[in-house]
Amino acid sequence: MNVERVLLAAPRGYCAGVDRAVETVERALQSFGAPIYVRKQIVHNLPVVRDLESKGAIFVEELGEVPSGATVILSAHGVAPEVYAQARARELRVVDATCPLVTKVHNEAKKFARDGYHIVLIGHEGHEEVVGTMGEAPASITLISAPDEADALELPAEDKVAYLSQTTLSVDETNDVIDRLRARFPVIQGPPREDICYATQNRQTAVKVLAEKADVVLVIGSDNSSNSNRLAEVAAARGARSYLIDDETEIEDAWFEGARTVGITSGASAPEWLVDRVVGWFRARGVDDVEEVRVVEEDVHFALPKELEQA
C-alpha cells in the first residue's frame, strides 16, 4: 500500500438528532433501568445498535413485541400516528426520540393536507422516515424519488400541489427533482425552510471538498443509512473511488492501488470512535500524515425528550 496521507472531513459523524437519540437510550437505561425497548434501530448504524444492546437496550421491529406497561423508545426517524395509538392501547411508557427536524416535516405534511394540498414527497420508498411522514396524511401524499418520476407525475388539474422531502437525501439530486416539479407545476408550494437537514447538507459539502483532494474516499456508515449512502455517491460523482464501510474490518488493501491520499468521512449516524478505529488502521500501516479538512462549523444541539427531562 502506497498511501501517504489521510484527510478527515469536518464536519462528519453524529448530527444533533442522532446524538440526542443515542443519549436518549443511554439516559433512559439510567433513569428507568434495563431492559429498555426500542422500536426499530434507534439510528441506522449497526455498531451503535450493538453497543446499546450490550448496555441493556432491546431492539424490536414492532410494538407487539414489547410487554404491556414497559418503556419503549421511538427511533430518530419518526413514526406514523398509528404507532402512538398502538402504544397507548398497550399502556406503554413512550419516550419519543424522533429528530426535531423530522417532526418539522411531519408538521408540514399535516398542515398542507389540512389546507387541501396534494403533497409530493421526495424520498426513498420503505425508509422509516418516509413511512412515518406518509402516515400523517396517506390520502394526500404521492411518493417520488427521481427526476424522471417528477416528469411522469400525473395529478388532477384542480389540485393544489406542495412538495416535501426526506431529510437525508442528496442535496443536488433533490434540487433537480424540485426544479422538475416547478417546471411541471409552476405554483407548487414548498416548505417554509428546506427539509434536508443541516447535517446532511454540511457533510455532503465537506465530502465534495474531500473528493477533490483524495484518490479514495471511505465513508463510515451502515448499508441502511440513507445519508451515508448519499455521501459515498457524492464522493464518486466528484471522481474519487468511494467505499461505504461499517468499520475498519471491512477495508480491503486492493482499494488503494495507485492511491496516495485517502479521505475519510462518516455518516450522521456513525460515532467518532469508529473514525478513530479506521484512522488507526492506516496508522498501523505506517501512515502518520493525518489532517482534518474543516469546511463548515456546526453548533446545533437538541434538548432531550420531555419524558426524560421529567424523569
Asked if residues 233 and 207 have their Cβ atoms less than 8 Å apart, the reply is no
- Burial class from Cβ neighbours inside 10 Å (0-12, 13-18, 19+) for residue 120 reads buried
| Catalytic site includes residue 307 | no
Q: Which of 4, 108, 128, 129 is catalytic?
A: 129
Asked if residues 123 and 209 have their Cβ atoms less than 8 Å apart, the reply is no
CA dihedral 20, 55, 276, 216 (to 10 degrees): -80
Q: How far are the Cα atoms of 152, 252, 271 from residue 247, in angstroms, in the given order?
A: 40, 11, 11
Q: Please provide residue 71's backbone torsions phi and psi, each rounded to the nearest 5 degrees.
A: -90, 130
> Collapsing DSSP states into helix, strand and coil, what is residue 96?
strand
Residue that has been written with the C-alpha cell 442535496 in this structure: 171
Catalytic positions, written as ranges: 129
